[in-house]
Structure 1
Amino acid sequence: MPALVVPRSSVADSVRRAARSGQWDDHPAYTGVARMDDGQFDAWTDRLVADAREGTPRPEGFVPSTNLWWVDGTEFLGRVQVRHRLTPRLRDLGGHVGYWVAPAVRRRGHATAILAATLPVANALGLECVLVTCDDDNVASRRVIEANGGLFQDRRGVKLRFWVPTA
């Protein structure tokens, strides 16, 4: 049964496979994952976990974020990032929550389940509602957001913006 977990080395091989899929997104925290040796991978997962702490150094414009992986046993299926607060850029483009599902397991309900499992995490961070965005032509993501109670607010450029209650 898939579940959200803290990033961990036990799924390293399947994370690397997902990174080599050719459809890995360009999130800066995930650059170079496919080529990491075990030591680099361990250090990287430590940084992902540390990113949730307020005092962790991060690039300008980035905020503390809780990074979780959607796994089934040792199989990495996807990931989610919960940004603890919004900057003006995140308010327009990124929102509080960003999720990604490995191409090999798409169209099986994982994105909907990831977002549903993420909402209590966001609530525990003190977020009563989270902003979730998607591209205006991403019908699948829009359905995921709406299936989790997302209420459409507006469109900004190519981004649709939804507020999703966390409780």
Structure 2
Amino acid sequence: MDVRPARRLRLTRPDARLRDAWLAAYAEWPAGAHLDASGLRDGDDVTSPEGFAAWVAKLLVCADPLAPLPPGQVTHSTYWWITEDGSVLGSAELRHDLGHPLLLDAGGHIGYSVRPGCRGRGIATWALAAALDRARDRGLDRVLLTCSPENAASARVIEKAGGVLEDVRETVVGPKRRYWITL
């Protein structure tokens, strides 16, 4: 029997007070890597305290369906950081709709990423389950998730959560496996 200690994983709203913990997670990704579900865009300043606070404020605005979208944002999204005991382990995003062709083709409703040093611990599985709960709470009855064909770990996470493969297609951001999950 595999007995693991109880986890204290949380989906935490972005918070400028977690800057050092977020930067420690960010440092594990290769330079220039795209951090899925982070909301980080080219030109965002996350290194200075002021820039980081402005970026966090932008992420929080994205969750408000009545607020205008920041430049580069195509739909309202709720962002969370996956945290445990004050450490940032990754991020998750719930896009409120698929009203932009890129999201329907390649992005989906939910994205997630786990920092490299924390992979293989079931964190992505936990984060996806938590994000699915939030999607259900928003009234969604079906969600689209995508991953690159070479990302076997993410495909397993999605399939474990009930994802049914619709297709694999070429998109403007490369090939994507597209899964639907009924909530």
Q: 1:67 to 1:38 in 2, by over 3 A?
A: same
Query: Is the contact between residue 16 and residue 33 of structure 1 (CA under 8 Å) also seen in structure 2?
Result: no
Q: 1:107 to 1:143 in 2, by over 3 A?
A: same
Q: What does the per-residue CA deviation read over 1:65-116, in whole Å, with 9 as the maximum and x for residues that have no partner?
A: 0001110021000101111111221111111111110111011111111000
Query: Is the contact between residue 12 and residue 41 of structure 1 (CA under 8 Å) also seen in structure 2?
Result: yes
Q: Distance in 1 between matches of 2:78 and 2:46?
A: 24
Could you tell me which amino acid in structure 2 is paired with residue 17 of structure 1? A
Query: Is the contact between residue 85 and residue 96 of structure 1 (CA under 8 Å) also seen in structure 2?
Result: yes
> 1:73-88 maps to which residues of 2 (within 5 A)?
73-86=85-98, 87-88=100-101
**What fraction of aligned residue pairs are identical, expressed as a percent?**
36
Report whether the alignment pairs 1:163 with 2:180.
yes
Q: 1:50 to 1:61 in 2, by over 3 A?
A: closer
Q: What does the per-residue CA deviation read over 1:46-78, in whole Å, with 9 as the maximum and x for residues that have no partner?
A: 211110112223336610000011100210001
Q: Distance in 2 between matches of 1:156 and 1:61?
A: 23
Say how many residue pairs are matched. Answer: 166
Aligned with residue 65 of structure 1, among 65, 68, 77: 77
Could you tell me which amino acid in structure 1 is paired with residue 179 of structure 2? F
TM-score (norm 2): 0.82
Could you tell me which amino acid in structure 2 is paired with residue 71 of structure 1? T
Q: Distance in 1 between matches of 2:49 and 2:137?
A: 32
Unaligned runs of 5+ in 1: none
Report whether the alignment pairs 1:21 with 2:28.
yes
Could you tell me which amino acid in structure 2 is paired with residue 109 of structure 1? G
Q: 1:103 to 1:34 in 2, by over 3 A?
A: farther
Query: Is the contact between residue 133 and residue 160 of structure 1 (CA under 8 Å) also seen in structure 2?
Result: yes
Q: Distance in 2 between matches of 1:123 and 1:29?
A: 22
Unaligned runs of 5+ in 2: 1-7
> 1:40-119 maps to which residues of 2 (within 5 A)?
40-54=51-65, 55-59=67-71, 62-86=74-98, 87-119=100-132
Question: Larger deviation: 135-144 or 39-48?
Answer: 39-48
Paired residue secondary structure (2:113): strand
Q: Distance in 1 between matches of 2:92 and 2:35?
A: 14
Aligned match of 1:37: 48
RMSD of aligned alpha carbons: 2.0
Aligned with residue 6 of structure 1, among 1, 13, 16: 13
Query: Is the contact between residue 67 and residue 81 of structure 1 (CA under 8 Å) also seen in structure 2?
Result: yes
Q: Distance in 1 between matches of 2:73 and 2:9?
A: 32
Query: Is the contact between residue 19 and residue 34 of structure 1 (CA under 8 Å) also seen in structure 2?
Result: no
TM-score (norm 1): 0.90
Q: Distance in 2 between matches of 1:81 and 1:30?
A: 12
